[in-house]
C-alpha cells in the first residue's frame, strides 16, 4: 500500500463553533487505525468556509499532490449541495475547483444523492480537472455510507484505474453498492 496518498474530508455541519465528534470523523479514525490511510478532516457551515478550506489545501498544504480523494460529506440532491440553507450547483463547485483537481477523485457521502446526467458529469470533470466524481444515488439518513466509503478509499490506495476500483467494490460489496446505488463518473 502506498501510504503517501491521503484523504481530505470536508464535512458540512450546522455550526463549526460547536465541538462534537461526527460519525464521519470516527469512521476516518477507524480507517486510519485499520489500514494506515491518513486523512485531514475539516468542517464547514458555509460556502465561504468550504472555499476557504479547499484553498488552504490547494495553496498552503505542500502534500496536496498526495491527496487522492477529496471526500465531501454535505447534504444535497442530484446536481446540488446545500450549505447553511443555500443550494449550490455542482457547476458552481466545479468553478471553485477550476483546473485544480487534476488526478483527484471527488467522492460524496450519501448525505447527498449524486444524480448527474452525462453532460453535467462531463462539465464537472472538464472544469475541475478531476479524474472522477463518485457517490451514491440514494440519499439516506438510515443507511450510512461510511463502511462502503472506507472500502472505496482502501481500493483507491492500491489501484489507479477507476474502472477496476468500481469492479472490486462491486465484487466485494455488491449488496451495499446496490442498496446505496454507488455511482462513478469519469
Please tell me the CATH code under which domain 6-185 is placed. 3.40.50
Can you tell me the distance from the alpha carbon of 181 to that of 98, in angstroms, rounded to the nearest whole number? 28
Q: How far apart are CA 92 and CA 95, in angstroms?
A: 5
3-class secondary structure, 89: strand
Contact present, 153 and 37 (Cβ < 8 Å): yes
Written as nine digits, the cell of 136 is 451514491
Q: How many CA atoms lie within 13 A of 161 on its CB side?
A: 4
Q: Is the pLDDT of residue 3 over 80?
A: no
Mean per-residue pLDDT for 154-177? 94
**What are the C-alpha distances in Å from 62 to residues 2, 17, 170?**
18, 27, 34
Cell of 161: 484505474
Q: Which pLDDT score is estimated for 152?
A: 96
How many other C-beta atoms lie within 10 A of the C-beta of residue 74? 20
The strand ranges marked E within 25-158 are 39-44, 67-73, 80-83, 86-89, 105-108, 132-136
- Whether 66 shows a pLDDT value over 90: the answer reads no
CA dihedral 89, 64, 37, 39 (to 10 degrees): -60
Give the percent of the chain with pLDDT over 90: 64
pLDDT of residue 2: 45
Provide, rounded to the nearest whole percent, the portion of the chain with pLDDT above 70: 95
| Exposure class string for 120-157: b at 16+ Cβ within 10 A, else e | bbebbbebbbbbbbbbbebbeeeebbbebbbbbbbbbb
pLDDT of residue 141: 66
- Per-residue pLDDT tens digits for 115-145: 999 999 999 999 999 999 999 998 876 778 9
Please say whether the beta carbons of 7 and 69 come within 8 A: yes
CA atoms within 13 A on the CB side of 104: 31
Beta bridge partners of 183: 135
Residue 104 neighbours by CB distance under 10 Å: 21
User: In the prediction, which pLDDT does 143 show?
Assistant: 75
Cα 24 to Cα 12: distance, rounded to the nearest angstrom: 11
* Domain segments of the chain as ranges: 6-185
Answer yes or no: is pLDDT of 106 > 80. yes
Amino acid at each position: 500500500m502506498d501510504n503517501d496518498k491521503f484523504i481530505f474530508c470536508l464535512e458540512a455541519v450546522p455550526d463549526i463553533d460547536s465541538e462534537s465528534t461526527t460519525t464521519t470523523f470516527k469512521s476516518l479514525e477507524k480507517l486510519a487505525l485499520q489500514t494506515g490511510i491518513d486523512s485531514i478532516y475539516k468542517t464547514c457551515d458555509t460556502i465561504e468556509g468550504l472555499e476557504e478550506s479547499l484553498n488552504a489545501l490547494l495553496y498552503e498544504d505542500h502534500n496536496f499532490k498526495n491527496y487522492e480523494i477529496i471526500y465531501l460529506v454535505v447534504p444535497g440532491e442530484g446536481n446540488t449541495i446545500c450549505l447553511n440553507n443555500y443550494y449550490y450547483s455542482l457547476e458552481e463547485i466545479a468553478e471553485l475547483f477550476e483546473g485544480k483537481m487534476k488526478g483527484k477523485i471527488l467522492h460524496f457521502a450519501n448525505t447527498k444523492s449524486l444524480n448527474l446526467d452525462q453532460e453535467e458529469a462531463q462539465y464537472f470533470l472538464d472544469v475541475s480537472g478531476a479524474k472522477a466524481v463518485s457517490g451514491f444515488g440514494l440519499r439516506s439518513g438510515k443507511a450510512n455510507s461510511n463502511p462502503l466509503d472506507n472500502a472505496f478509499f482502501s481500493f483507491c490506495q492500491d489501484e489507479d484505474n477507476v474502472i477496476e476500483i468500481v469492479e472490486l467494490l462491486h465484487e466485494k460489496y455488491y449488496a451495499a453498492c446496490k442498496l446505496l446505488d454507488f455511482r462513478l463518473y469519469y
